[in-house]
C-alpha cells in the first residue's frame, strides 16, 4: 500500500481539515508552539487528529478555533454541557467558555520523540490524568523539569 504525503500550509490545512477528517482515520499535524510542552515539543512532535465521535471529556486533547480565529491545541480540564474549559500543558491559566461547535478535532495519538503514543501509554496517561490535576503547581514543576533535563554542559538533552 502506497502512502502519499503532502505538506500543507496551516491555512490550507485548516480549510481542508473537515474533508480530510471525513475521508481518513487521522490527520497528522506537526506541533507548532509551546503551550503543550513538556508533553509535546514545537517542531519535534506530531499529533494525529480525528473526527470527534464520542462525548468530549476531561483530559481529551482537542484542536479548536478561538472566536478571534486562532487555531489552538489544548487539553480539556472541565466540561459543563456544551461549554469547555481548556488549558495547555505548559500553562496554569484556564480558558473558559469554549463552545463545542468550536472544536474541530480530537487527538487520538501522538508521535513524541519518534515514538507513537496512545491512550493507555504511561506518558499519555500521566499528562491526561496526573498533570491535569497539578495546574496550580505547574510553574514550579516546569522550572524543576527544565533544570533536571539539562545536561551537565548546559545543553538541552531534547534538542
Residue among 113, 95, 105, 98 at smallest CA distance from 158:
113
The whole-number pLDDT of residue 153 equals 57
User: In the predicted model, is pLDDT for residue 158 greater than 60?
Assistant: no
How confident is the model over 73-116, as pLDDT tens digits?
999 999 999 999 999 999 999 999 999 999 999 999 999 999 99
What pLDDT does residue 145 have?
80
pLDDT score at 159:
46
pLDDT digits (tens, 9 = 90+) for 137-146: 998 988 888 8
The pLDDT value given to residue 4: 67
Look at residue 116 in the predicted model and tell me its pLDDT. Answer: 97
- Mean pLDDT is lowest, of 13-17, 38-42, 66-70, for 13-17
Length of the chain: 159
Using a 10 angstrom Cβ sphere, with 0-12 exposed, 13-18 middle and 19 or more buried, the burial of residue 100 is: middle
Judge whether residue 155 has pLDDT over 80. no
90 compared with 155, residue with greater pLDDT: 90
Give me the pLDDT at residue 10, please.
74
CA distances from 37 to 11, 17, 138, 149 (A): 23, 24, 11, 13
What is the rounded average pLDDT for all residues in the chain? Answer: 90
pLDDT greater than 80 at residue 152: no
pLDDT at 120 over 50: yes
Burial of 133 (0-12, 13-18, 19+ CB in 10 A): exposed
Which domains, ranges and CATH numbers included, belong to the chain?
A: 10-148 (2.10.109.10)
pLDDT at 146: 82
Predicted confidence band of residue 14 (pLDDT cuts 50, 70, 90): confident
**pTM metric for this prediction:** 0.85
Amino acid at each position: 500500500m502506497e502512502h502519499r504525503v503532502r505538506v500543507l500550509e496551516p491555512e490550507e490545512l485548516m480549510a481542508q481539515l473537515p474533508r480530510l477528517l471525513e475521508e481518513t482515520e487521522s490527520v497528522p499535524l506537526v506541533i507548532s508552539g509551546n503551550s503543550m510542552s513538556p508533553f509535546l515539543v514545537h517542531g519535534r512532535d506530531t499529533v494525529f487528529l480525528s473526527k470527534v465521535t464520542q462525548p468530549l471529556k476531561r483530559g481529551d486533547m482537542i484542536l479548536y478555533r478561538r472566536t478571534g480565529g486562532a487555531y489552538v491545541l489544548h487539553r480539556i480540564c472541565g466540561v459543563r454541557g456544551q461549554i469547555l474549559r481548556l488549558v495547555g500543558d505548559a500553562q496554569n491559566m484556564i480558558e473558559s467558555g469554549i463552545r463545542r461547535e468550536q472544536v474541530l478535532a480530537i487527538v487520538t495519538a501522538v508521535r513524541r520523540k519518534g515514538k507513537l503514543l496512545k491512550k493507555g501509554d504511561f506518558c499519555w496517561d500521566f499528562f491526561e490524568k496526573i498533570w491535569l490535576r497539578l495546574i496550580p503547581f505547574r510553574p514550579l514543576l516546569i522550572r524543576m523539569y527544565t533544570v533536571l533535563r539539562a545536561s551537565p554542559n548546559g545543553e538541552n538533552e531534547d534538542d
